[in-house]
């Protein structure tokens, strides 16, 4: 029998209240599979506040601390300090936050945690908008995407600004480890989490978590879209460790950005020249990443 590539252990239960096809639910499931039961998660206001199910139930087998939306970085610093003060060893402290709670309102607390070298893992699951409140734009929403606050109406053509590059911001703090992960590539995902678990210091994951209602696609396409995001270089898989970048997946002929976006209702308004512009930006970012990797 072939060796399983994904740990069998399940620390997230079915019966959670995520939407069908929820990428954020998969992100939690794989993170916990790789980290194991000696883990505690701190979760701000985000989809996962709700996915975890209301009192007195919980979808997680590990303890969970709720925290307000902007404070995840501080929360895991506090958990780490308490664990150290109480002589707990071997446990993994995890912050598990959405993109708005990380790149917008939570950026200060994240920066503080990284700068303090807090021995913990900060996970940002990126569904590219404020999805729990009903699809509003965040700093992590990509250019051109429809959201309820970047409507397609009159002269408004979706989000005007490019997605905030959180990995560059994190890398500028020189953490012990940072990586992009994608729920559509579980082997790569689990390998990175397991690697990070063995390290000491501040660690950061940027996880792409496709969102059927927010991106407007049918729920069975989450993995397909996730794979397209990486294979079109829209969401490259890479690691940053010891000041060096390493790209984890390079395919000879990347898919067209058009292929990735055409199945998503949030991009349905884009005209061919607008798609061409997005393709140009993706190419530029990819070449910049290749250049960063070449520095190593």
Check binding of 49 to another protein (CB under 8 A): yes
- For another protein, the closer of residues 203 and 266 by Cβ is 203
In contact, 17 and 50? CB cutoff 8 Å: yes
Q: Are strands 202-208 and 177-182 parallel, antiparallel or unpaired?
A: parallel
Residue ranges with strand state E in 68-119: 92-98
In contact, 156 and 220? CB cutoff 8 Å: no
Check binding of 78 to another protein (CB under 8 A): yes
| Tokens linked to 289 | 């990443």
Any idea how long the chain is?
Answer: 296
Among 3, 8, 55, 273, binds another protein (CB under 8 A): 55
> What's the CA gap between 102 and 97, in Å, rounded?
6
Check binding of 173 to another protein (CB under 8 A): no
Q: How far is the CB of 84 from another protein (least distance, A)?
A: 5
> What's the CA gap between 273 and 261, in Å, rounded?
14
* DSSP state at residue 221: G
- For another protein, the closer of residues 9 and 296 by Cβ is 9
Among 40, 121, 229, 257, binds another protein (CB under 8 A): 40
| Tokens linked to 106 | 């939570």
> What's the CA gap between 113 and 52, in Å, rounded?
25
Check binding of 73 to another protein (CB under 8 A): yes
- For another protein, the closer of residues 70 and 99 by Cβ is 70
**Residues 113-152: x where in contact with another protein by CB under 8 A, - otherwise, as a string:** --xx------------------------------------
Check binding of 84 to another protein (CB under 8 A): yes
Check binding of 25 to another protein (CB under 8 A): no
From the list 57-65, 121-129, 262-270, 278-286, the region that binds another protein by CB under 8 A is 57-65
> What's the CA gap between 122 and 94, in Å, rounded?
6
Residues that bind another protein (CB under 8 A): 37-40, 42, 49-50, 52, 54-56, 58, 60-68, 70-71, 73-79, 81-86, 88, 91, 108-109, 111-112, 115-116
């Amino acid at each position: 029998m072939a060796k399983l590539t994904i740990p069998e252990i399940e620390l997230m239960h079915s019966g959670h209240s995520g939407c069908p096809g929820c990428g954020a639910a998969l992100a939690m499931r794989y993170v916990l599979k790789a980290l194991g039961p000696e883990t505690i998660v701190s979760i701000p206001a985000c989809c996962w506040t709700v996915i975890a199910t209301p009192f007195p139930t919980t979808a997680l087998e590990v303890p969970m601390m709720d925290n307000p939306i902007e404070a995840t970085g501080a929360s895991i610093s506090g958990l780490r300090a308490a664990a150290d003060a109480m002589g707990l060893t071997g446990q993994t402290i995890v912050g598990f936050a959405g993109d708005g709670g990380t790149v917008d309102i939570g950026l200060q607390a994240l920066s503080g945690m990284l700068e303090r070298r807090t021995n913990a893992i900060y996970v940002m699951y990126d569904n590219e908008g404020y999805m729990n409140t009903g699809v509003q734009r965040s700093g992590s929403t990509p250019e051109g995407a429809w959201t309820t606050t970047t409507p397609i109406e009159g002269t408004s053509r979706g989000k005007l600004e490019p997605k905030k590059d959180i990995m560059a911001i994190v890398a500028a703090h020189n953490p012990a480890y940072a990586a992009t992960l994608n729920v559509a590539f579980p082997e790569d995902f689990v390998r990175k989490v397991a690697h990070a678990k063995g390290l000491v210091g501040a660690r950061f994951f940027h996880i792409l978590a496709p969102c059927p209602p927010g991106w407007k696609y049918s729920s069975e396409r989450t993995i397909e879209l996730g794979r397209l995001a990486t294979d079109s270089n829209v969401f490259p898989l890479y690691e940053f460790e010891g000041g060096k970048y390493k790209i984890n997946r390079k395919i000879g002929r990347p898919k067209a950005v058009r292929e990735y976006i055409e199945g998503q209702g949030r991009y349905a308004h884009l005209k061919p020249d607008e798609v061409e512009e997005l393709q140009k930006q993706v190419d530029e970012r990819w070449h910049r990443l290749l250049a960063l990797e070449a520095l190593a």
